[in-house]
């Protein structure tokens, strides 16, 4: 499978715990995005990496959220001290460096904070 | 964001009919648009895209129309099939360094057999 891969697919955690999600983009894609999607809404942009550099972060990304892409390949998104409002689908997407090309999404990680 | 709550607009069609899903975008500076299909529990799947220098683009069974004057986008699906049942999102790319996507309100397409 050469698509975007996310792990885990589902995560249930207790409020206050830390969670970490992983995204493996399409191998030749240097652009990587994280989005969050809540029920009934479209995905909302969280953050963007070009290679290993994090170039943009949304206001949605509070101090409890941190994302990395250490070698310019896979990326991780960590949420510290989870809250019930963090429950959502976390989507990763990647695209090539060419402007105006489609972004390919992974299947997402469904987070439930109880 | 562009949230409209839990009640998605719904389009119900009979199998074999044509479907038209509409989308209004907000930024006249957007120069690239994508339609995505999202099935329950899955990530968005690319369907078709269009650049702002075009007003129509056709794919297999799908056509996207772009009206920049009124900032409107539509997706036409010919001979709709049960497998087309999903939520459809339009997304606009406002360019710049990140090429991030801004998603519109989804439309639930329900295909009746």
Q: Is A90 touching B (CB cutoff 8 A)?
A: no
Q: Is A7 exposed, middle or buried (0-12, 13-18, 19+ CB in 10 A)?
A: middle
Q: Is B35 touching A (CB cutoff 8 A)?
A: no
**Over residues B18-45, mean pLDDT:** 93
Considering chain B, what percentage of its residues have pLDDT values greater than 70?
94
Tokens of A75: 């990326």
Conformation bin of residue A69: beta by default, left when phi > 0, alpha when psi is -120 to 50: beta
pLDDT of B28 over the 90 cut: no
For residue range B42-79, what is the model confidence (pLDDT) as tens digits?
Answer: 999 999 999 999 999 999 999 999 999 999 999 999 99
The beta strand positions in A58-100, using DSSP E, are: 65-68, 75-79, 88-95
Best of A41, A47, A90 to disrupt the B interface (most B CBs within 10 Å) is A41
Chain B CB contacts of A91 below 8 Å:
43-44
pLDDT given at position B26: 84
Please answer whether residues A67 and A19 qualify as being in contact, where contact means their C-beta atoms are separated by less than 8 angstroms: no
pLDDT given at position B7: 66
In 3D space, the residue among B23, B11, B9, B6 whose CA is nearest the CA of residue A40 turns out to be B6
pLDDT along chain A (114 residues), means of 10: 90 98 94 94 95 92 95 95 97 85 92 98
CB-closest option in B5, B6, B43 to A105? B43
């Amino acid at each position: 499978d050469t698509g975007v891969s996310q792990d885990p697919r589902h995560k249930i955690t207790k409020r206050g715990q830390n969670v970490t999600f992983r995204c493996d983009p399409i191998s030749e894609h240097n652009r990587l995005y994280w989005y969050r999607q809540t029920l009934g809404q479209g995905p909302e942009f969280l953050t963007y990496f070009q290679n290993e550099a994090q170039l943009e972060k949304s206001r949605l990304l509070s101090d409890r959220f941190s994302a990395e892409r250490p070698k310019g390949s896979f990326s991780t998104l960590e949420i510290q001290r989870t809250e019930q409002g963090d429950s959502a689908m976390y989507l990763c997407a990647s695209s090539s460096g060419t402007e105006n090309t489609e972004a390919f999404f992974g299947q997402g990680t469904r987070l439930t904070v109880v | 964001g562009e949230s409209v709550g839990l009640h998605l607009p719904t389009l119900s069609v009979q199998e074999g009919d044509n479907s038209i899903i509409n989308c209004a975008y907000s930024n006249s500076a957007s120069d690239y648009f994508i339609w995505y299909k999202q099935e329950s529990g899955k990530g968005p799947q690319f369907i078709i895209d269009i650049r702002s220098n075009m007003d129509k683009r056709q794919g297999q069974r799908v056509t996207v129309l772009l009206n920049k004057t009124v900032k409107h986008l539509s997706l036409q699906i010919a001979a709709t099939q049960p497998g087309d049942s999903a939520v459809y999102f339009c997304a606009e790319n406002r360019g710049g360094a990140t090429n991030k996507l801004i998603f519109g309100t989804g439309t639930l397409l329900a295909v009746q057999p």
